[in-house]
Amino acid sequence: MIPGSDHEDWRGPVADELAPAPVTATTPRFRGAIWEVRTDRVTLNGDDVDRDLIVHPGAVAIIALDHAERVYLLRQYRHPVGMMLFEPPAGVMDRAGEAPLLTAQRELVEEAGLVAGEWHTLIDFLTTPGSSSEAIRIMLARDVSPAPGGRIVTGEAEEVSLPGAWVPLEEAVRLVMTGRLLNPSSVVGILATAAARDSGWSTLRSADEPWELRDELLASGRVFTFGR
């Protein structure tokens, strides 16, 4: 686009919206434990093209913030990148019909051994919309305390040992901005928490706010369904 010209200038509202292109054929490629890969034949601007996509179940992550404004981060191995990453407690939405808040509360106990007295919806985002349907809702948990009985270990392998650290929010922001924290939920969640704090928490949404994005993905067949 030439600066100052009208060529392809967008004049509508700046907001993402659901606008699925027509799919004329679908070819399954792979189905694993928590996602599947398929190829859709899609009509885009008059052309029929093939687009591969990863169908993901979606997930929630939790920024647990204590009274001293410290964020709880877990150290967990992630095999696709061969790295130990510091990230907030999180989990895929693997229970049909479970509300994001209930998933978040369960995962906070299972991965961090924590419970919270105050919950809010912090931010929603798409991790890799060029290749995956994964949508994540990050919840903000405050007034946190140890769960009775401690952490409930329900996973295996990577989840058997999940050492954690309480990191001051300002230090966490610095670690993100200097490239020391790379997990997307860490990056998005920490920066969103800092922004929410700086706004006097005015941007926080209710913990049970409907997740319209996930509903739209479900309706269009872009959410992995367990047990099929």
Handedness of CA 172, 177, 179, 182 (dihedral sign): positive
Instruction: State yes or no: is 170 an active-site residue.
Output: no
Read off the amino acid at residue 14.
V
Rounded to whole angstroms, the Cα distance separating 129 from 134 reads 7
* Nearest Cα residue to 94 out of 66, 122, 60, 70: 60
What whole-number distance in Å separates Cα of residue 135 and Cα of residue 143?
26
Residues with Cβ within 8 Å of residue 126, at least 6 apart in sequence: 134, 135, 136, 213
Tokens of 224: 């992995």
- Residue 26's φ and ψ, nearest 5 degrees, are -135, 130
Taking CA atoms, 2 is separated from 9, 30, 45, 107, in Å, by 10, 43, 22, 49
Q: Annotated catalytic residue: which of 69, 159, 209, 216?
A: 159
Name the residues annotated as catalytic: 159
